[in-house]
Structure 1
């Protein structure tokens, strides 16, 4: 009898726990409905393609809504409204309050920056806000999503009109890729900070901005860098000889179409054994000699020295070492036969 009673109590306990989990899941899903409806109300002023027409506050779950993907427990894990024709002023706290949200894709819309801070429950790992209408500087430290979303690994804010930052961007240990290309960033201090405080960053793209002045960082401290693109800016002066000297993992380096000057031969590529793409075109480097350390770049596949006004031919012994070379661009120089 006692045994039967214990079994009944255990079954009742399991059933009660199941009901509690069910209620908790329903409550969390309902919270996601509230947060998404708040985003629709406060961030979206025009839904030209009616992509949010099935977003209604009478729904018990948002999992069937356009752009919404849910985890098995019914929580919103991804919101993808890319190229949806949405217009408005983005308020991120409404979305980052959803603690199961891992991926947020809003690229290709017409959002301006309303409130780019984030709730303390932010669990975002990927944030894509590229190709929008952001034209304000990044909020200062403690006021942007960089401060609260400490799991962010991939951030893309390219193709906007961002002029810079109101303070330093606090890179978290989890941030792996940051793309700020095709903006209007002129704050060279932001570039210097990014190159010296990059933690685990492996991709940094500042291409096609308005960065000017000299590189104030003599060497990149980002040991995990794989891709660095600073092309199409207004950077000038000499490239520090040891700028890439210790970048053992660097695979793609693009410094093309700036105003760099100085002696090409001074650059140290001795440790760039993993380099596959090197673009220096459109600069003013002098070429009394080619860097002998380039012979270490045996994996080089793309080598662009076009539009440089170079006069001295590349030593055949150097080219002989680059056995993986697929693309060599030497146009608009002054080489002789």
Structure 2
């Protein structure tokens, strides 16, 4: 019986597709396994408590190792070791995994400075290094040592960058240029003094910015950049030691959530607050506010006002706390 070429091709395709060597979870490129094992060997951890790495051995294909995700070419594209307790620094060998698009090292107890080799990961889309003990400043010049290297802030593909709950300090680097950056979280660090955030003006897609739990006094955007600064959706400046309402906020007409609680803002709530047309949540509790300006022109958000240091509710601002301690 003559087998039709098309049928024969179909049978061969089925055999190939069902063969274990063509399943992503069964593949492991030699270089990828070597890079992962080198990274593991450079880590300091307790094998009894850091069980996620127990599967990282030669008897299992590296794409099946816990926390590792590979693409169809068996290249490591995601690494998630969150909640794994290490000691010491993040090894330089992390920079060998150049195909990573997702790196989650949340709550891993890393310390020291963030390695410069992270700048090799040019395909990164998400990086979460929050809840660690990284130290150092974010410099505007590569001449500084013991800091987050500026080259990391030029990983153009990053969409989410979370560095919260570390021990970072210093000024905002002038080299933060992520064309696709959506969220930047620098909360709960040791930034202090006025923070100039002009560098963020080039990040046109930025919509979530969290600088809370820092002692930054003020958040400043240079006047010439006010018109080009991205329209944020969520801004968290709680526990920042602010003395006044940051002036650039009046130009943030797209704000949806604004958190300014637990600062040292005194006096009145300015009337431009009511012109933030999209505002849904405004929390200014635990400040020293004494009054508010009534808005009389283009005040779409002001329909009901209750004072005497009680929560103030309007048709747009569903939560506006003016509670004073």
**TM-score, length-scaled by structure 2:** 0.75
Match of residue 282 from structure 2 = 278
User: How far apart are 1:176 and its partner, in Å?
Assistant: 1.1
1:52 is matched with which residue? Answer: 53
Give the count of matched residue pairs. Answer: 298
**Which structure 2 residues correspond to residues 107-186 of structure 1 after superposition, within 5 A?**
107-112=106-111, 113-120=113-120, 122-138=122-138, 140-141=140-141, 143-144=149-150, 146-165=152-171, 167-186=173-192
State the distance in 2 between where 1:260 and 1:217 align: 21
Quote the Cα distance in structure 2 between the aligned partners of 1:70 and 1:135: 31
Correspondence 1:287 to 2:291: yes
1:59-88 CA distances to partner (integer Å, 9 max, x unpaired)? 684111111112222221211111012223
Contact 1:44 1:90 in 2 (8 A): no
1-structure distance, mates of 2:267, 2:201: 23
Unmatched tracts of structure 1, length 5 or more: 1-10, 12-17
8 Å CA contact 1:128, 1:157 repeated in 2? yes
Partners of 2:237 and 2:259 within 8 A in 1: yes
Q: Distance in 1 between matches of 2:106 and 2:80?
A: 9
Question: Are the counterparts in 1 of residues 243 and 263 from structure 2 also a CA contact under 8 Å?
Answer: yes
The RMSD of aligned alpha carbons is 3.9
Structure 2 distance, partners of 1:147, 1:332, is 39
What is the CA-CA distance between 1:199 and the residue it aligns to?
3.2
3-state SS in 1 of match to 2:136: coil
Q: What's 2:264 paired with? A: 259
Q: Is the 8 A contact 1:161 1:184 kept in 2?
A: yes
Contact 2:27 2:63 in 1 (8 A): no
User: Runs of 5+ in structure 2 lacking a partner?
Assistant: 1-8, 10-15, 143-148
Kept in 2, the 8 Å contact 1:275–1:299? The answer is no
Give the secondary structure class of the aligned counterpart of 2:29. Answer: helix
The 3-state SS of whatever aligns with 2:167 is coil
Q: 1:126 to 1:294 in 2, by over 3 A?
A: farther
**C-alpha separation in 2, matches of 1:51 and 1:313:** 49
| Superposed CA offset, 1:163-189 (max 9, x none) | 235843422111110111111111533
Counterpart in 1 of 2:315? Answer: 323
Q: CA deviation at 1:326?
A: 4.6
TM-score normalised by structure 1 residue count: 0.73
Is the alpha carbon distance of 1:70 and 1:256 closer, same or farther for their aligned partners in structure 2, counting shifts above 3 Å? same
The aligned counterpart of 1:231 is 238
Q: For the Cα contact (< 8 Å) 1:223–1:248, is it kept in 2?
A: no
Aligned to 1:102: 101
What does residue 70 of structure 2 align with? 70
Greater shift in the superposed pair: 166-175 or 99-108: 166-175
Change (3 A) 1:127 1:288: closer
Q: What are the Cα deviations for residues 222-256 of structure 1, in whole angstroms up to 9, with x where unaligned?
A: 3331111111011224542xx33332321111122
